[in-house]
Each structure stands twice: as C-alpha cells, then as structure tokens.
Chain A
Amino acid sequence: MDYLRQVNAIIWKDLVVELRTRERVAAMGGFTVLVGILFNYAIDPTVVEPQAIAAGLIWMTIIFGGMLGLGRTFSLEEEEGAFQGILLSPIPRDAIFVGKVAANFIILTVVTALVFAVFALFFGLTFGGHPVALAGVVLLGILGFVALGTLFSAVSTRTSMGDTLLPILVFPLLIPVIIYGVTATATLFEGRPVAEVDGNIRMLGAFSAVALFAGAGLFRFVVEE
C-alpha cells in the first residue's frame, strides 16, 4: 500500500504540474491538429482513400506527438535540480519510474483521444464496430511506447544531445508496437472480428510488460549519480 501511495504521489505531482502549465498537452494537441491539416494536403484523396491508410496515419501521429511530450518528462527535474530532492527521498527508484510512466500514459491517452477525434473529423473516418477492442489495442500500444520512452527520456535528458537523441534510441525498439498496433487497428477499422487481433493484443501486452519491467529495473542505474 505504501508503494502505491508513493507512486500516486509522483503521478499526482506530474499531473498537477501539467494541469497548471498545460504546456505538454498544448504542444501535443496543437501538433495533432496541425499534422492533420498537413496530411490533408499531403494525401491525394483521388489516389488513395484516407480510410485505407487511417490506422498508419493515426499511429504515426500518436508516436511523433508522443515523442514531443515524452522528451519533457524529466526536463523540470533536470532544470530545477529537483531530481536530487526526489532521489534523496525514501521513494524507491522503480516507484518513481512507474509514477512517471503512469502520468505520461494519462497525458498521452488524452492526446490519443484527440488524434482520433481530429482525424475522424478531417477525413470522415469510421472506426469499425469494436470500440472496446480498439481501445484495448491502442492503450496497450501506448503503454509500451510510454514505458520505453520514459526510460530513455531519463537517459537523453542527461546527455548533451537532449531530446534529439530520444527518437534515435526509441524508434528502432518501437517496431513491434508499430507492426502489431497498426495491423490490429487497421483490422478493427475494417470491422473484422475481434478474434483476428487476438494475437496482436497478446504481443502488445508482452511488449508492454517487458518494457515496464526492464524500465523499472534499469531506471535506478540511469538516475544514480
């Protein structure tokens, strides 16, 4: 119970900061809408139907927008030297990690909902008949992405290259999320039965589990002095 309370403290702190400044959500939200606009001009609707490539477009927007926000996960701590304070407190390192992941996950979920809404509006998309399964696929995919991104954000924040290093570190490792996530999303968009994406959901779950455990275990080595 103690552990959960500590994790909650971290989540709460990050969300309150985010609610007050709204800087990450604003950046990611603005990015989403603008990318939607750009895509409208980048895709020729007479040649390719947006519905056919919707899954890929949506996921790439989530990933790119997500990277914007993930890069800032530890920026506040690093700038203000607040990290020392957190590290000196009795909160175990993996609790800090889990808390950060959870906060990022919540923020990215909000942004993802925005992505779906914006793309549905701009391109007249339909999302198939299995909203629960779709939500499951997307959320599991985001979870793995956020876990990986949070760990490497801690790494990149403390290098001289900063945020520019984050995509190089994260994108190669993100391939399974893209493959399983986009394929499952596209399958569900077509209205196909949930049973067909069963394997994908399992793999996304496995990926998220590995990312979370690895991140929680390795986080202490990233933040120790």
Chain B
Amino acid sequence: MRIRLLTGIVLAAFVILLPDAGFAQGTADPSALANQSLRGYTHMFIAYAIAWAVVVGWVISIARRLARVEKALKE
C-alpha cells in the first residue's frame, strides 16, 4: 500500500516535471521561464512536499525503531 502511494507520488512529480525536460533541450532564458508562474507553483509545492516527506519519514523511522527496542527490552 505504502509502496503504491510512494510510486504514485514519484510518478506524479515526474509527469509534472517532464515538460521541463523539453526545455532542457532548448534555450535557458531565465525571464521567459520565470514568467511561467504555474510551473513555479508546482515546483514550490513539490519542494515543500519533499521536505515534509523527509522529516516525517525520519520521525516514523525513529518511532518504529523505538517501538522495536521497547518491545525487546520488555522481554
């Protein structure tokens, strides 16, 4: 379940960012690109999502390891 969710997120990010790959072949004109504010919004949300995912991921990882150790100590 979690793997499917993760795959979905990665694929979504990929699809959203794919048009950028087209631009990578072309010119890199900053002002023209900055005018596309929709792309800016997408990138910004993905960036914040990544930061949240990493931090929350760490929390969950610590919590799980903690539960495992507490269980081991109880025995």
Do A and B come into direct contact in the complex, CB within 8 Å? no
Hey, which bits of chain A sit against chain B, CB under 8 A?
none
Hey, which bits of chain B sit against chain A, CB under 8 A?
none
